[in-house]
Structure 1
Amino acid sequence: MVCCTLPRWWPVPTKAEVEAIIQMEDPVLRNLHITQTYHVLEVALTDVFGEEDLSWCGFSTWASKTAGAFIRKDVLPGVMAQLLERADAVTRGFSELQDRLLGAWGASVGIQYVLARTVEDVLDEVARHTARGNLVVFQELGPLYTDLLANFTGMDSPEPSRVEAVVSRLAPGPVGEGGQDLLIRAVRHYHEACFTEDPKAHAELMFLANALVGYHEQARLQGPVVAALNAPVKELFLEHLVAFVRADPNPRARSLSEWGLREGFAPLAQRLERLWRELATRMLMKMELPDVTLRLGEDLPALTAERDFPPALERLSHPELVALMAALDRSPDDTAGSAARDWGSLSDRMNLIVDLFRTRQQDRLLYDQPFTFLQVDAFQQGRVPHGRL
């Protein structure tokens, strides 16, 4: 058993407490609890794995915290300002059509109003899909890591029966068919890491297990990620436009048919939808860590000026890990080329995520608390804390 030096401010969550979080209906409060639970689990797992190498929970803490900003729609003012600024140039190109169909007042006021309503609805969609993804992952992995901690704590030598106690609750089969083979493999490698004293071998086993869990997680998230990126901007814009025109006191505007409005403004709506996807990709492709905001559409920063990865992970030797990196990492042993070109692509996300795990696996900053004590106290009492989260 490994002795942990990190302070324990909160008790390890029980299975019942994890299940209670899963059953929460408020997505904002649920996300706060999920983020905090990942942090508490990560600190507790250092009793099992030691403090040198983080488990997947250390990364999921900050991914969930980042997701919280979208679930709470904290990004609304910034996105609204960016979209309206960029959309101004687009809408000016349609000014003659706007004036002819809506009149001078409708063109100057209506389009901005319709855009603002559209952005609010789109961010509602993003928040809903992000919350669904946050829950989908926690439903599987919150109970798994709670179970793993309960079974692996206190082992002085390998105990296959404890491994089987964990994996017996997982469903064999490929992830695409609802199976959990990747998680089963990860649990076995975590168990092996518990009794591996060589620092390099231990780091590689932890990285392998983390990457397998990350691969499973991202496959599960494919639907919510694509749905968040592909919000129906065009249709929402046209619906709000029709509603605005129907409420317009101008008789000429009210006389326009819905078909005519939709056909006339469809090209503008399509341009705005493309613009939204550009902004949404940049907005969604970031991750807040304690010391830096990572732009996931750019190559990840190297660990130091001298090396991309920690020494123990600079050159990989574990055969299964080498094979997995050959499948997932387009630029093995180098952070150059780690950028995700298309966040809706599972292979692009994994290309970046494995490098993120590898560069930061021994970063002690990821053990930091995601929230202050007052904030934790607030949401544990069922209140969303005030201020920046």
Structure 2
Amino acid sequence: MLNSPSTLPLSRKQLRSVARAQARINIWHGAVRSGKTVASLLAFLLAVAEAPPSGLIVIVGRSLQTIERNVLEPLGDTSLFGPVAASHVRHTRGATTAVILGRTVHLIGAADSRAEGRLRGLTASLAYVDEATLIPEAMWTQLLARLSVPGAKLLATTNPDSPQHWLKSGYLDRAAELDLRAWHFKLADNPSLTAAYVASLAAEFVGLWRRRMIDGAWVIAEGAIYDQFDEQQHVVDTLPAITRHWVGLDYGTVNPFAALVLGLGDDGRLYVVAEWRHDSRKARRQMTDAQYSAALRGWLAGLQVDPEWTFVDPSAASFLAQLWEDGHPGVTRAKNDVLDGIRTVSTALAAGLLRIHRSCTGLLAELPDYVWDAAAAKVGEDRPLKRNDHSADALRYVVHSTGAEWRHLLQHQGVSADAPA
């Protein structure tokens, strides 16, 4: 079923974790690309082969799509698990079951706490959890309660998060009290990575994410979010010729409305070239969706900018409808994965790829004070403090949503082209 050691090199730590994954709860955690997932999947295959016929086998992940990408595709990869791997893993994309080693395996997405209801009433003998820190604690608790067949066990893999995260404080820190084994992996624990790849991968992550994803540390999100921001480096008074334009927009009625133009310079860098804001409190006048739409079009016309896309706060349904009705070109919902978006902006800033024109005073005032929420961190959540963040949100929308257009430029700034998008 598996490749020989010559085609699937495994470290001593990986082999030891596979052999010793016999506890009720088994967790592989640590850096990205550190070998933990391959080891956990190998242990899962062996557990499927040995699982008692009674009780269901389940795989839980953030979504069905992440289960397919992170679990099923690697299990069927012949370069990892041998030429017969594909025949042992059968799955139709989008289906909520798969067949692994002849056993039906149920696939359960856990996007929010309501998903735990899907576990009610079932009896399981084996569970695999992908990206455990991203599933709700209620889902994890319910899953453990359903593992009631004698000898049942759970296998899970995750990258580090806050040291106050429920998985760390409630389980990893209490391993001695529980029937739990855990293995911590660093990037150096993966014997199949070249030095060049490790250096490239390390360059993709900065700040908080570097400590977690590269060093494999459970560290708290605290202080400034964009601690890479340096006014002397990132703020410019003049702009090069701009070859492409995009707009990012954070909608507000009582709160400020903020729009930014992001441009691609002929020097291969990104520039925030202009900003428009309306603060109804300061102006003592609220604007309607139609007035905002007209003001936005007038502002862009004055700049002589015809954006390829306008990325709008996805929660602003009424304003999106107004822009579509007014025929504003290229209107779409922005990608609103907050942490991924922050990481993308951080990468661009750290690489020296992103510059901001000095006229964008709202954004420049917000960035130094854009900080992590200390209260949220105490309960294990990474969340920006919701205060004076409207232009910062617009920046995140447009930079993150256009990642596929400019990511290749990171190569010229000394960063891998595979930086997170």
**TM value normalised by structure 1:** 0.23
**TM value normalised by structure 2:** 0.21
Higher helix share: 1
Q: Which has the higher contact order (CA 8 A, sep 6+)?
A: 1
